[in-house]
Structure formats: C-alpha cells, structure tokens
Structure 1
Amino acid sequence: MFSSWSDHSKGLFLTAVGGLALTIDIPLIKLANGDVWSILLLRSSATLTAALVAWFVWNLIWRNAPPLIPGKAGLAVAACYGVTSLCFMSAVFYTSTANLVFLVAFNTVFATVLSWVFLRERPRNQTLAAMVIMIVAIAIIVAEGFTAGGWFGNLLALGAALSIAGAIVLSRKSGADMGFTPLVAVVLPMSIGGFMVLQNGLVAEAPLWIILDGLIVIPIAFFLLATGPKYLSGPEVAMFYLLETVLAPLWVWMIFSEVPTIYSVVGGSLLVVTLICHSLWQLRENRKPRSAQTLGQPA
C-alpha cells in the first residue's frame, strides 16, 4: 500500500513519524540523570553503533542500502548535523532554556529562506501563513520564561537552528538518500564528549535509558527526518522538528510530574493544530489531478 502513495504523502508520513520519535529524546535523557558530556558520549556511541549495524545488515540482506555519506554533499550534510549537536549542547550552558527553544525553532524560517534563495523553491502562501502561526505559538510557549540570556549562548542557539536548516536544504538540493548521514555525523560530538569524559569521568545514574535512546529512538527519528527532504520542501520538513517543542514537555509532565504552564498548553495546542491542518491541506492538494494544478505552482 505504501508504494501506491504519492511522494509527498510518503514524505509527510516519514517526517511525522520521525518528528514524533524525536519527542521521546528529552525524557530519556532526563531518566539517565547524567552530565551533558556523559550523555553526549553514550547517546552518540549507541547511535553510531546502531547505524553501522543497520547498514551492514541492510547490505547483507538486500544489498541496496544507501551510502553512509553520499559524496561531497553527504559530507556537507554530516558537518551540518555535527555542528548542530555541538551548538545545541553548548548553548545549554550559555543561555536560558526558553531562549534556546525559541531560537532553535527558527530553523523553519532559515529553511524557508535558504530553500527560496538556493533552490528557487518559493513556499506557497499557505506554508508561509502556517510558519507565522507556528512562530507565534512558540513565542506563547516560552513567553513566561523568555529572558535576555547571554549573547554568546543566543548565537550558539541560532547556529544550531541555521545548521539544521542547512542540512535540510543541502539534502533537498542533492536529491540523495541521506538517511544514514546524521547517524554517522555523531562521530564529531562523540569524540568531544569522549575527551571531556576522560577528563572528568562518566556520570550517569541510569545509563541504560540513554543507551536505549541512542540505539533505537535517535536512529529512527533522524533516519526518517533526514529522508524527508527527498520528498518534501525544506520548510515542510523543518516544521516536524517543532513537534519536540510541544510534545516533549507533555511526556516530561507525565513521567516526572512537571506540570506545563498555561502558556505551554495554549501555544502547544496552536502549534499542533496548525501542523495538522497544513499537512491535511498538502495531502488534499497533492491528490488533485495534475492537470488541475497550476503550472509552475511552488511546492
């Protein structure tokens, strides 16, 4: 049945599942209860192991696994994902969590601009409107805790958002299958985390949780999200990264009894409804007969 879907429908399904899987990341990190470098080392090591095993088994059985890093474009995409991890983890120490969440969420805006400039993919007015509503929703979520923070930390958060957008647009431009690329890109943060752990020791009270995260959750999430640009425009893929902003606090509330604020509930509801409406609209548009669609209409 999946083979009968349009490319756009496949893309929406893959990125939606990937975005949902990514929302489990933060709860598993909290359950591990360790320091940032230990968590980074354990998660990255487990992710790399899972990626290499999956790639080997895929080649052994079907012999058609996509390359781990497809050429120069793959190296550029891997570098972007590596920079994303480093910027994000470092920003945690230099700015407030609210600032970090809000600024990283701007990857949707960066992806739209980069796609427009470099790929000539002008977003539809409906996509632009959905992005504006999503930005407002995220502003509502962090309104209560948004503080000035440090300039360096804010720049790191913007760097993370820009590098995510860069990875999405480069993947879209190349047209290559980048499913494994973000998984092997963890070599960079893993190396830095390993160096820091050698200096300070491994600190993780429940390491099995973060190993589970690295072995299963992160590979599924990033494989699917990295495959999305093969079927969807950059802005559309970037939207599904926002699911973590909304749903991760909900899982944390259920597991750790950290009650979300009214701002989180209102903003999160607005974000989810907008994402669902936009996806349903895109599905309807792509089910129309090709002749009924305007020639040259942007994706």
Structure 2
Amino acid sequence: MKDSARGLLLVTTGIVVLSFDGLLVRLAQADGWSIVFWRGLFMFLALGIFSLSAKSRASLRTQPLPCGCSALLLALISIFFVLAVIHTRVANVVVILSTAPLFAALLTRFFLREQVALRTWLAIGVATLGIFIVFAGSLSRSDMVGNLYALLSAAALGANLTLLRRHPAIARMPLIALGGLMAALISLPNAQPFGLASSSYLALALMGLVQMPVATLLINNATRYLPSAEVALFYLLESVLGSLWVWCLLDEVPASATLYGGALVLITLAAHAGMSLRARTPLLA
C-alpha cells in the first residue's frame, strides 16, 4: 500500500504540473521547431548538471540500450506534442493523447507479460468516454496532420512508460536531460531559435527549466511503484485540467459537455485509485 500511495502521489502531482503544457506552448507564440529546441535545451541545462553523479553515470553505462531508447522516446514525445499543438487545436491533441493508456496497457500485456487488471481496462474505457464528451464535435478532418502527431506522441508515451516499468533501476533524471538534448538537436535544423519575441523566451524558459523537468521526473518515477497502464491512465486528467487552465487564464468558457465529461473523468480516476490501493492492501487476519 505504501508503494502504491507513493506512486499515486507522484503521478498525480506530475500530471497537474504537466497540464500547463498546452497553455504554455500557446503563450510562447513561436513556431513548433523553435519551441522544441528551446524547451529541450532548457531541460538539458536544468537537469544535466544533476545527471553527472556516479549513480547516474553507472546507470547509463550498465544499461545503454534501454537508456538510449527511453531518452529518444522522451524526445519524440516532446516533438510530436508541440507539433500537434501547433498544427491543430489543443482539444484535438489532448483527446488523442488520452489513448496513451491503451498503448501502455497493450505494450505491458504483450511485451512485459504483466497482467492488466480489469478495473484498469474499465477505467480506461469510461475515462476515455468522458474525454470524448468533453471535446464532442471538436475533431475536424482538416486537422489530420496535427492529429497524427498527437497519436504518435501518445504511442511514444505509452512505450516509454512501459520501458521504464521494465527497467525500474534506471536513473530517471539523466534520461530526461538526455531526452531534452536529443529533442533540441533533432529540431535545430528546422528551428529559428534567435528570432523570437522576448515574451516567448519567458514562456519557453518556464517550460524547459521548471515545468517539464519537474513533471517528467515525477511521472517517470511513478513507474517504479505502479504499472505503466495505470500511470498512463492519469494522462486523462491532463485533458480536463488543461481545459480548466485555458478557461481561467485565457477566458475561454467551456461548454456544458466539458463540465460533464470532466466530472466523469475525475470520478473515474478517483474510483480507480481507491480500488487500486484497496486491492494492494493485505488482508488482516
């Protein structure tokens, strides 16, 4: 129970911090590749110095393949998410990103041979229904490019959570720093990093130095204590919270469907978390 509670606390806190991502991308008011470059570089600068410890270096040395794969997946998650937000509406992105639990559950089941609890499958289904209620009618055929980027981000997210679940001993911090550096290097040929407005750099610094490192570190560490499918399930909460921040800070009033669907997601997540804790509590004699 103690490990489960710790995992739930880590993933919930991480998702709350991460939920500002779409808003900050919008506030940056820059092209997607420049956002990816600065966000990745700032993440590397923020965490790189802390990744030089003997433990971190040993982790990279002893398991180079899973470390490299995880860092690349983190870079792809960031790239695809930002490009998705640039090419289509945030509502489209978060709806499609909510499929990450399905990817994680499938990958966990078939590659790790880890049984996915029925309650998790049911929660994924109900919460996904809530997300589609929130954004009913927001999907457009003209946004197919952005939708594809969002789907690729969801797939990479599910794969990374499953990989980290398979290798719990890997130090998470150097992976996040390396992933940021990879994202910056991949985006550099298409970026215009020094042609942005001063206000853009403020939003990018907040994303890269604070928001993304903290959120990613918390969420990735949650895979030490919870199955990847359960961790990915909480990304559905980001969809609801992201809408609320836009409502509060950009004065975009949500439709009634947003309120009803959001309530369904929150209730589902709370019920699933309670059932997970109870299922892991040993029965008293």
Q: Answer yes or no: same fold by TM over 0.5.
A: yes
Q: Residues 100 and 27 of structure 1: is their aligned pair in 2 closer, same or farther, counting only changes over 3 Å?
A: closer
Match of 1:138 among 131, 134, 142: 131
- Native 8 Å contact 1:88 1:157 kept in 2: yes
Question: Partner of 1:171 in structure 2?
Answer: 164
1:145 CA drift (Å): 0.9
For 2:261, give the aligned amino acid: G
For 1:267, give the aligned amino acid: G
Match of 1:79 among 50, 72, 78: 72
**Equivalence map 1:97-176=2 (5 Å):** 97-149=90-142, 151-176=144-169
For 2:221, give the aligned amino acid: T
Aligned residues: 282
1:139 CA drift (Å): 0.9
CA–CA separation in structure 1 for the residues paired with 2:266 and 2:208: 26
CA–CA separation in structure 2 for the residues paired with 1:168 and 1:17: 16
CA–CA separation in structure 2 for the residues paired with 1:87 and 1:27: 16
CA–CA separation in structure 1 for the residues paired with 2:267 and 2:57: 35
CA–CA separation in structure 2 for the residues paired with 1:126 and 1:34: 41
DSSP-derived class of the 2:170 partner:
coil
Question: Partner of 2:223 in structure 1?
Answer: 229
- Native 8 Å contact 1:96 1:149 kept in 2: no
- Native 8 Å contact 1:179 1:224 kept in 2: no
> Which protein has the bigger helix share?
2
- Cα deviation digits, residues 214-270 of structure 1 (max 9, x gap): 111111100111112111111101012222211011112111111112222111111
Question: Partner of 1:28 in structure 2?
Answer: 24
> Percent identity over the alignment?
30
**In angstroms, what is the RMSD of aligned CA positions?**
2.4
Structure 2: 5+ residue stretches without partners: none
Q: Residues 150 and 215 of structure 1: is their aligned pair in 2 closer, same or farther, counting only changes over 3 Å?
A: closer
- Cα deviation digits, residues 150-208 of structure 1 (max 9, x gap): 55544332221111111011111122234221332022321243333348833453422
- Are 1:16 and 2:16 an aligned pair? no
DSSP-derived class of the 2:141 partner:
coil
DSSP-derived class of the 1:184 partner:
helix
**Equivalence map 1:1-299=2 (5 Å):** 6-56=2-52, 59=53, 64=55, 69=60, 70-92=63-85, 95=88, 97-149=90-142, 151-180=144-173, 181-198=175-192, 201-203=195-197, 205-289=199-283
CA–CA separation in structure 2 for the residues paired with 1:202 and 1:44: 16
- Native 8 Å contact 1:32 1:205 kept in 2: yes
Structure 1: 5+ residue stretches without partners: 293-299
1:97 CA drift (Å): 4.2
- Cα deviation digits, residues 8-53 of structure 1 (max 9, x gap): 2211111111111111223333333333233222221111111113
